[in-house]
Amino acid sequence: MNHNYTILTVFEYSTEAQVIKAKLESENVRVMFADEKTIDSDPLLSQAIGGVKLLVHNEDLEKAVEIYNNIRAYEKDKWGNEIHCMACDSTRILFAPLQRKNLFYMLFPFFEKTRHICNECKTVF
């Protein structure tokens, strides 16, 4: 992998990544993909190789993060309403990564309780 680029985000399929790539390029951010052709040739490999990686040039990373955070989709509750952070009241809420603290959750991750993380203050709830 090119050391001048950093992974901004990962997508399951390249079609999702193309939209974000187009927006970043329209803002003069240098971007490229990793594993795009592999997943396009066999979409079932996406989970196995970790999806399509959207890479951003290190000099453009800060700008790219700001643009991406303004256009990305944030989580909503089951009724379609925005979720608000308990600490800062932001609506920029994402799913928090699974913890998988013990063997049971490693084997059966779907039993682990869903947690959210605020993209502004990083509060997990």
Domain extent listing, the chain: 5-71, 73-125
pLDDT over 70 at 6, yes or no: yes
- Kind plus residue range of the DSSP H or E element containing 116: strand 116-118
Using an 8 Å Cβ cutoff, are 52 and 10 in contact? yes
The pLDDT tens digits of the residues spanning 70-112 come to: 888 788 888 989 899 999 999 989 877 767 777 887 777 777 7
Residue 67: count other Cβ atoms within 10 Å of its Cβ: 19
CATH number attached to the domain at 5-71: 3.30.70
Q: State the pTM of this model.
A: 0.66
Give the list of residues 6+ apart from residue 57 with CB closer than 8 angstroms, or none. Answer: 4, 5, 29, 30, 31
Using an 8 Å Cβ cutoff, are 52 and 36 in contact? yes
Give me Rg for the CA atoms of the chain. 16
pLDDT of residue 54: 93
Q: Cα(122)–Cα(52) distance, rounded to whole angstroms?
A: 25
